[in-house]
Every structure is written in C-alpha cells, then in structure tokens.
C-alpha cells in the first residue's frame, strides 16, 4: 500500500517508536463550529450519514429534537439541543454539534492498547483504524469529551473521521460542505482561529460579552473548535466540558503505571534470577532426612 510511504501520521496508538517526522510542514486543518450561526437543522448529521454510509435504527421521540438520543456507532455527529433561560429570563435555544474534537493530545490515542488502531495525522485528524481495533473501550475512557462508541455488532470503536477520505483528496468534510448557514467552517487551524476572532468580536457587539473561542488547552487544543456566545460557561451547551483534559486516572495508568509496572516485573524477575545465581537453590540436606527419620522413629506408635 502506498500509505507506507505517506509518512503523514505523527502519532499512532500503542507505539513506542518515533513516527516518521520528516514531513513537518503539513497544514493543520480545523473545523470551526460557530454556534451562533447554527440553526440546528441537522444537515451535518444527514450529510455525515450519507457520506459515510451510516444508517442506525429509526428511534423514537424522547422529548427533544436531539435525534438519535446519543452518539453511536452509526451516529458520528449529533446536534444536541438545550433550552436555556439566561440571566435576563430570555430563552436561548442552544444547539451544539457534538462529535470528535480531534484533540492535539488525544486521550483516546493515549489510552488505546492496540497498535495502529488510532492514528493522528500531521494535519491534525485523529482517525480510528477499525482493522486494528480490539474493541476494549479504552478510547472511551481516554476521551475527555465522551465521543467514541463501541458497536455491539462488531466490537469496533467508531467516531467522526473528519472525513479523512475527503480531506485526503483536498476536499472539506461532508458536514462542513452541507452546513446551510456556514456554521461549520473548514480550513487551516490558523485561518479558523483568526476567523473565530472576528466572529467573537461581532458577538460581543451583539451583547454576548462572554463570547469566545473554544480551543481547550487541556488537550493541547483541538481541531474542531467552537465559537461560543457564552464561552465562560461551556457546560450550558449540553455539557461541553469547561476545561477538558485527559483524566488523571488515564494519565497515571498510561503515563506512570505502564512503564513502572513493566519495570517492576522485570526487576522482580531479575532479582529472582540473581538470587539463584548468588545463593542457589534451597535443597534438602542429608541431616534433614536423618533428623526427620529420627523424629519419626522416636514417635512411632505414639499416635496410634
């Protein structure tokens, strides 16, 4: 396969070697979701399903426009609707497109035990490679945004690929293209950040003083960013984490325990070996046999 030559990935799950690093001038791409422009029409969801050939079950109505009710193996992006009454008592209908954030420091990748099941490309896309996925669900635990979903049918983990197939041929992701109101934009991360800056200014001018860009540093920044009218309280947007970071449990597990434990095992084994080299085995000696025999003799019949 030609991809052996691509060298375009910068990180790969469960790998202890340095990935090819020569192509260090690739443009980092980003998707900017401008919540203030979003009408919650779900064109992105439809386009995602259509392009990626995903069709889940027809569900039921569950008291919200959020349909399906959650992300899933067939739902890689989802509009989440929140009816929010602001401080002045006015209603705001907060609508957030949920899906993989394509973190610069991806928790899923850190947690993944299967070599090559999760890849981070130089352009920033974090992609799952189903063939290598073992279905353990560690990515679910690694993700600070609760995105990956394991399919019950095939025990593979699924999430947004940022349409890596489209991006690889120079196109925008399907959701970006479809978005009727331009609430989803795509371009280089630099451009997206500067455009976000303009949008934030406009929103401040419209009375959203706390408007801001959501590009959380806790995960090294993301390649899916939000313009939020209320950037001070991201959680009102259907529980968007305020300061997401890879869980300390995952960090300790993968960062500390993994090497330490392996070292500990090695040390234990080596210690045993050295002990054997130095002291040798503990063998029964002749006088042990003799003493035992004597003792038995002395006590013959006593018990009976």
Residues 211-240 that bind other proteins (CB under 8 A): none
- Selected from 197, 217, 235, 292, the binder of other proteins by CB under 8 A is 292
Site string for other proteins, 39-78 (x = CB under 8 A): xxxxx-xxx-xxx---xxxxxxxxxxx-xx----------
As a whole number of angstroms, the longest Cα–Cα distance in the chain is 105
Closest contact distance (angstroms) between CB of 28 and other proteins is 17
Distance, in Å, from the CA atom of 100 to the CA atom of 102, rounded to the nearest integer, reads 6
Alpha-carbon dihedral sign for residues 60, 160, 143, 96: negative
Residue numbers 239-268 binding other proteins by CB under 8 A: 247, 249-250, 252-253, 257-258, 260-262, 264-265, 268
If one asks whether residue 277 binds other proteins (CB under 8 A), the answer comes out as: no
- Pairing outcome for strands 91-99 and 77-85: antiparallel
Q: Look at the block and give the residue holding tokens 């300061």.
A: 243
Closest contact distance (angstroms) between CB of 50 and other proteins is 6
Bridge partners of residue 126, in order along the sequence: 120
Closest contact distance (angstroms) between CB of 85 and other proteins is 7
Tokens for 278, please give them.
């130095």
- Pairing outcome for strands 77-85 and 29-34: unpaired
Tokens for 194, please give them.
């500067």
Looking at the Cβ atoms of 66 and 222, the one nearer to other proteins is 66
Looking at the Cβ atoms of 37 and 193, the one nearer to other proteins is 37
Closest contact distance (angstroms) between CB of 93 and other proteins is 4
Number of residues that bind other proteins (CB under 8 A): 120
Q: DSSP state, 35?
A: G
If one asks whether residue 160 binds other proteins (CB under 8 A), the answer comes out as: no
If one asks whether residue 88 binds other proteins (CB under 8 A), the answer comes out as: no
Closest contact distance (angstroms) between CB of 99 and other proteins is 15
Distance, in Å, from the CA atom of 205 to the CA atom of 113, rounded to the nearest integer, reads 48
Residue numbers 114-133 binding other proteins by CB under 8 A: 114-117, 119, 127, 129, 131-133
Closest contact distance (angstroms) between CB of 6 and other proteins is 7
Question: Given the rule CB under 8 A, which of 22-30, 198-206, 213-221, 231-239 is the region that contacts other proteins?
Answer: 198-206
If one asks whether residue 98 binds other proteins (CB under 8 A), the answer comes out as: no
Distance, in Å, from the CA atom of 1 to the CA atom of 45, rounded to the nearest integer, reads 32
Bridge partners of residue 33, in order along the sequence: 184, 226
Closest contact distance (angstroms) between CB of 216 and other proteins is 17
Looking at the Cβ atoms of 233 and 268, the one nearer to other proteins is 268
Closest contact distance (angstroms) between CB of 111 and other proteins is 8
If one asks whether residue 89 binds other proteins (CB under 8 A), the answer comes out as: no
Q: What's the distance, CA 208 to chain centroid?
A: 31
Site string for other proteins, 11-30 (x = CB under 8 A): -x-xxxx-------------
Three-class secondary structure of residue 29 per DSSP: strand
* Residue 200: exposure state from Cβ atoms within 10 A (0-12, 13-18, ≥19): buried
Distance, in Å, from the CA atom of 161 to the CA atom of 167, rounded to the nearest integer, reads 10
Residues 6+ apart with CB under 8 A from 49: 55, 74, 75
- Selected from 32, 33, 122, 174, the binder of other proteins by CB under 8 A is 174
């Amino acid at each position: 396969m030609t991809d052996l030559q691509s060298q375009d990935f910068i990180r790969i799950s469960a790998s202890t070697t340095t990935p090819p690093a020569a192509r260090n001038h690739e443009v980092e791409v980003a998707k900017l979701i401008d919540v203030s422009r979003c009408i919650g029409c779900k064109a992105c969801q439809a386009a995602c399903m259509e392009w990626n050939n995903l069709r889940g079950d027809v569900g039921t109505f569950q008291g919200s426009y959020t349909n399906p009710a959650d992300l899933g193996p067939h739902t890689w992006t989802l509009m989440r609707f929140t009816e929010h009454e602001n401080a002045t008592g006015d209603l705001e209908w907060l609508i957030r497109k949920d899906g993989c954030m394509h973190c610069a420091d991806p928790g899923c990748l850190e947690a993944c035990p299967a070599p090559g099941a999760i890849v981070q490309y130089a352009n920033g896309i974090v992609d799952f490679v189903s063939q290598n996925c073992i279905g353990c669900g560690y990515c679910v635990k690694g993700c600070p945004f609760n995105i990956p979903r394991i399919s019950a049918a095939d025990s593979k983990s699924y999430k947004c690929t940022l349409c890596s197939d489209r991006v690889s041929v120079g196109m925008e992701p399907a959701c970006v293209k479809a978005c009727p109101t331009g609430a989803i934009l795509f371009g280089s991360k630099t451009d997206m950040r500067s455009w976000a800056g303009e949008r934030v200014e406009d929103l401040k001018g419209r009375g959203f003083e706390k408007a801001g860009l959501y590009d959380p540093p806790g995960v090294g920044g993301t390649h899916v960013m939000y313009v939020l009218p209320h950037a001070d309280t991201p959680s009102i947007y259907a529980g968007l984490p305020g300061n997401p970071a890879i869980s300390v449990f995952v960090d300790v597990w993968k960062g500390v325990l993994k090497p330490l434990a392996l070292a500990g095992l090695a040390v234990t084994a080596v210690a045993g070996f050295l002990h054997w080299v130095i002291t040798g085995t503990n063998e029964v000696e002749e006088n042990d046999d003799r003493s035992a025999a004597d003792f038995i003799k002395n006590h013959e019949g006593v018990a009976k």
